[in-house]
């Protein structure tokens, strides 16, 4: 008996071709189960994604799924093709959230290779992809760029021409979108959990989100499996016990989920993430770590054509095992820096 080459070893650096579009597998319907699990795994409390009646009062058909849940589901599609042999997820840019995702929608994704750069050690390279998630009607729900360091299968494989994409430092206000049909006139801030609207924030302001959430192995693995993300470092203690850290690494998208959920305390009315301008997993998180977060308002802009909502650019920093009352900006405790744009109702 011989083994057929049926199992997929994942792509190595030399398998990526500039300009190719990779169609990802496993279409995914997302529904009430995903919504409930996301709340149960993160503690998210944003009213718009928690209650149909709240969303319907604003003109939507029901509660849209949390934007970071959508991010994680789209990201999950791309993992078997893009990052199964990745050493590190280096960064994000140009993430634009599009059509809102509702219960019953089915998401699929594809990625275009937009940059390649072999590292000088010839053992790894950086792959830049633009991943696009669409719903069953073909509407884009999210597109984002990420770059990952990927192993080469063969050190001797020739290096591709180096192409590093020119990425926008921020998603422009014209490209920020809200769920179709939403009208914030009826927005009930008291019911959403905080009195502060767009008008009440100012650039330079910092907010300690106060609370901390401890991560358990079961919680981060369950969240990551929910997204059908298959990256081995999150799941296989037997292999990781001999790996770089001796243990499983928490999927960075789960840390983003926790930071966003914690940010409710101070940003309760930031009902929509419209863009991720940039992001970096500064240090890895492990089971047993407690995640804290703080945010700085780095910019504030009106939204073209809308009097009912405005955008805030935020930098949210998450730490492990370190409260954020003093707004730490560096150090080994930092796990996440996320530069993103949220939308809040205006007075």
Closest distance to a copy of itself from the beta carbon of 101 (Å): 14
Q: Is the Cβ–Cβ distance between 222 and 235 less than 8 Å?
A: no
Residues in the chain: 347
Closest distance to a copy of itself from the beta carbon of 205 (Å): 5
Binding residue for a copy of itself (CB under 8 A) from 136, 302, 307, 331? 136
Query: Does 25 participate in binding a copy of itself (rule CB under 8 A)?
Result: yes
Distance between CA atoms of 173 and 32, rounded to whole angstroms?
Answer: 31
Stretch that binds a copy of itself, among 142-150, 158-166, 212-220, 310-318 (CB under 8 A): 212-220
Distance between CA atoms of 233 and 214, rounded to whole angstroms?
Answer: 19
Closest distance to a copy of itself from the beta carbon of 142 (Å): 17
Closest distance to a copy of itself from the beta carbon of 163 (Å): 26
Query: Does 12 participate in binding a copy of itself (rule CB under 8 A)?
Result: no
Nearer to a copy of itself, 162 or 236 (CB): 236
Nearer to a copy of itself, 93 or 113 (CB): 113
Q: Is the Cβ–Cβ distance between 148 and 86 less than 8 Å?
A: yes
Closest distance to a copy of itself from the beta carbon of 220 (Å): 9
Q: Identify residues 46-105 at the interface with a copy of itself (CB under 8 A).
A: 47, 50-54, 62-63, 80, 103-104
Parallel, antiparallel or unpaired: strands 290-302 and 124-134 = unpaired
Stretch that binds a copy of itself, among 156-164, 222-230, 271-279, 306-314 (CB under 8 A): 222-230
| CB-based burial label for 17 (10 Å; 0-12, 13-18, 19+) | exposed
Query: Does 21 participate in binding a copy of itself (rule CB under 8 A)?
Result: no
Query: Does 242 participate in binding a copy of itself (rule CB under 8 A)?
Result: no
CB atoms within 10 A of CB 79: 22
Query: Does 334 participate in binding a copy of itself (rule CB under 8 A)?
Result: no
Nearer to a copy of itself, 126 or 132 (CB): 132
Binding residue for a copy of itself (CB under 8 A) from 60, 93, 149, 223? 223
Angle of helix 67-82 relative to helix 32-42, nearest 10 degrees, comes to 100
DSSP letters, 191-225, are HHT-S--GGG--TT-EEE----EE--HHHHHHHHH
Q: Identify residues 137-156 at the interface with a copy of itself (CB under 8 A).
A: none
Closest distance to a copy of itself from the beta carbon of 239 (Å): 6
Among residues 268, 273, 223, which one has the least CA distance to residue 67? Answer: 273
Closest distance to a copy of itself from the beta carbon of 41 (Å): 7
Closest distance to a copy of itself from the beta carbon of 92 (Å): 24
Query: Does 218 participate in binding a copy of itself (rule CB under 8 A)?
Result: yes
Distance between CA atoms of 34 and 37, rounded to whole angstroms?
Answer: 5
Distance between CA atoms of 211 and 267, rounded to whole angstroms?
Answer: 13
Nearer to a copy of itself, 110 or 119 (CB): 110
Nearer to a copy of itself, 51 or 168 (CB): 51
3 state DSSP class of 35: helix
Query: Does 6 participate in binding a copy of itself (rule CB under 8 A)?
Result: yes
Binding-residue total with a copy of itself (CB under 8 A): 91
Q: Is the Cβ–Cβ distance between 141 and 272 less than 8 Å?
A: no
Q: Identify residues 262-291 at the interface with a copy of itself (CB under 8 A).
A: 265-268, 288, 290
Q: Is the Cβ–Cβ distance between 24 and 163 less than 8 Å?
A: no
Q: If you compute the radius of gyration of the chain from its CA atoms, what whole number of angstroms results?
A: 20
CB atoms within 10 A of CB 326: 10
Q: Identify residues 167-196 at the interface with a copy of itself (CB under 8 A).
A: 190-194, 196
Parallel, antiparallel or unpaired: strands 290-302 and 213-214 = antiparallel
């Amino acid at each position: 008996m011989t083994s057929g080459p049926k199992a997929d070893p994942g792509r190595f650096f030399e398998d990526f071709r500039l300009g190719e579009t990779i169609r990802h597998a496993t279409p995914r319907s997302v529904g009430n189960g995903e919504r409930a699990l996301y709340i149960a795994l993160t503690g998210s409390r944003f009213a718009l994604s928690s209650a149909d009646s709240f969303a319907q009062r604003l003109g939507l058909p029901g509660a849209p799924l949390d934007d970071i849940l959508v991010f994680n589901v789209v990201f999950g599609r791309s993992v078997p093709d893009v990052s199964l042999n990745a050493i590190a997820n280096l960064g994000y840019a140009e993430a634009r959230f599009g059509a809102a995702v509702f219960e019953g929608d089915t998401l699929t994704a594809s990625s275009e290779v937009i940059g390649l750069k072999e590292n000088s050690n010839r053992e790894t390279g950086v792959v830049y992809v633009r991943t696009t998630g669409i719903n069953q009607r073909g509407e884009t729900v999210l597109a984002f760029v990420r770059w990952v360091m990927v192993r080469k299968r063969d050190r001797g494989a020739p290096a591709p021409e180096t192409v590093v994409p020119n990425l926008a430092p921020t998603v422009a206000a014209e490209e920020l979108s809200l769920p179709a049909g939403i009208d914030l006139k009826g927005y009930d801030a008291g019911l959403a959990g905080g009195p502060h609207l767009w008008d009440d924030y100012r650039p330079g302001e910092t907010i300690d989100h106060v609370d901390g959430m401890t991560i358990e192995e079961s919680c981060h693995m369950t969240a990551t499996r929910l997204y059908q993300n298959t990256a081995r470092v999150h799941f296989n203690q037997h292999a990781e016990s001999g790996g770089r850290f001796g243990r499983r690494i928490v999927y960075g998208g789960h840390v983003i989920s926790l930071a966003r959920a914690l940010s409710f305390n101070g940003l309760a009315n930031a009902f929509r993430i419209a863009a991720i301008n940039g992001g970096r997993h500064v240090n890895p998180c492990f089971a047993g770590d407690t995640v804290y977060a703080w945010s700085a308002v780095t910019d504030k802009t009106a939204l073209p054509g809308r009097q009912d909502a405005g955008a805030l650019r935020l930098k949210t920093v998450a730490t492990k095992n370190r409260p954020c009352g003093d707004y730490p900006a560096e150090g080994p405790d930092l796990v996440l820096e996320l530069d993103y744009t949220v939308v809040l109702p205006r007075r």
